[in-house]
Amino acid sequence: MEKILEVKNVSKKYQNKEGEVLAIQNVNFRVGKGEFVSIIGPSGCGKSTLLSIIAGLEKKTSGEIYIEGEKMEGISPKVGYMLQRDCLLEWRTILSNTMFRTRN
For the chain, which residues make up each domain, given as ranges? 3-99
**Confidence category of residue 88, pLDDT binned at 50, 70, 90:** low
3-state secondary structure of 53: helix
Q: What letter would DSSP give residue 99?
A: H
- If one looks up domain 3-99 in CATH, what number appears? 3.40.50.300
Please report which confidence band the pLDDT of residue 11 belongs to, taking 50, 70 and 90 as the band edges.
Answer: very high
Question: Given this model, what pLDDT does residue 101 score?
Answer: 64
Query: In this model, does residue 104 exceed pLDDT 60?
Result: no
8-state DSSP, 85: S
| The pairing of beta strand 19-32 with beta strand 3-16 | antiparallel
Q: 48 pLDDT exceeds 70? A: yes
Identify whether the C-beta of residue 6 lies closer than 8 Å to the C-beta of residue 65.
yes
Q: Which amino acid is at 27?
A: V
Which residues are CB-neighbours of 8 under 8 A, at least 6 positions away?
A: 28, 63, 64, 65, 66
Query: Of the ranges 11-20, 71-80, 89-98, which one carries the lowest mean pLDDT score?
Result: 89-98
pLDDT on residue 24: 96
**62 and 13 Cβ atoms separated by less than 8 Å:** no
Check if the beta carbon of residue 74 is closer than 8 Å to that of residue 56: yes
